[in-house]
């Protein structure tokens, strides 16, 4: 099982009768891990803490440097080159290790879920998009009700091409940087176009999880609406 950490106790033993926050599975970018990602997005975690409990996991595949070193314990959700590297701009490559990642997330959902939503950054956001597309087609053994993307994009791997052939009917928030050179905004817009009712928030910065000013407001507005849809409706059902 991948390392799991959370803003609160991620133990699978929880009281399902008391729910005060949305539960979100957070997926890191390429050459990160769950702990590093959690540390890098402290402002985001603090901003959304009113509405959400974030659970962070690490991808299953270790990334090694050219000399074979891997001391940093940085990870990838899959590789799209035969030398076990990954680039979001790569088109037509493989998806080495993707099935392992699917099994990992299924196991995490079984042990620590269910999750109300998924959130991802960069390669993690690409993965969230793939999972949303797979859910739309009925391919997943679990469900989630919304998705948040930071620097998201479509996978260029050949085996993923077929997942993007229909619209995705899922509440979604897409945040990206106008000056992002790693994942240019055109790549994020290509993913956004798959969703039927996307909410889009653009910032002037680059490749990171922005969380200030209007971007922070966009997160809070989106999560407030999801909170009303999910948590409040559950409370009303229990009263009935």
- Helix (H) or strand (E) holding 25, with range, is strand 22-27
Any catalytic annotation for residue 151? no
Q: Is 101 exposed, middle or buried (0-12, 13-18, 19+ CB in 10 A)?
A: buried
Using H for helix, E for strand and C for coil, what is the string for 128-192? HHHHHHHHHCCCCCCCCCEEEEECCCCCCCHHHHHHHCCCECCCEEEEEECCCCCCCHHHHHHHH
Selecting among 116, 174, 180, 188, the annotated active-site residue is: 180
Selecting among 122, 157, 172, 188, the annotated active-site residue is: 122
Any catalytic annotation for residue 207? yes
* Active-site annotation, residues: 122, 180, 207
């Amino acid at each position: 099982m991948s390392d799991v950490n959370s803003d609160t106790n991620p133990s699978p033993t929880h009281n399902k009768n008391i729910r005060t926050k949305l539960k979100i599975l957070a997926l890191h970018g390429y050459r990160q891990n769950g702990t590093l990602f959690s540390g890098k997005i402290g402002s985001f975690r603090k901003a959304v803490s009113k509405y959400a409990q974030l659970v962070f996991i690490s991808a299953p595949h270790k990334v090694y440097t050219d000399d074979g070193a891997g001391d940093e314990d940085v990870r990838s959700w899959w590789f799209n080159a035969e030398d076990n590297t990954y680039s979001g701009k790569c088109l037509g490559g493989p998806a080495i290790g993707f099935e392992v990642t699917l099994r990992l997330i299924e196991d995490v959902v079984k042990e620590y879920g269910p999750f109300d939503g998924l959130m991802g950054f960069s390669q993690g956001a690409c993965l969230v998009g793939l999972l949303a597309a797979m859910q739309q087609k009925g391919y997943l053994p679990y469900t989630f009700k919304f998705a948040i993307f930071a620097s998201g994009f479509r996978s260029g791997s050949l085996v993923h091409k077929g997942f993007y052939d229909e619209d995705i009917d899922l509440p979604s928030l897409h945040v990206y940087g106008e000056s992002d050179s790693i994942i240019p905004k055109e790549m994020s817009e290509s993913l956004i176009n798959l969703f039927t009712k996307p909410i889009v928030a653009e910032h002037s910065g680059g490749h990171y999880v922005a969380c200030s000013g209007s971007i922070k407001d966009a997160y809070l507005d989106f999560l407030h609406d999801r909170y009303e849809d999910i948590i409040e409706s559950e409370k009303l059902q229990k009263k009935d």
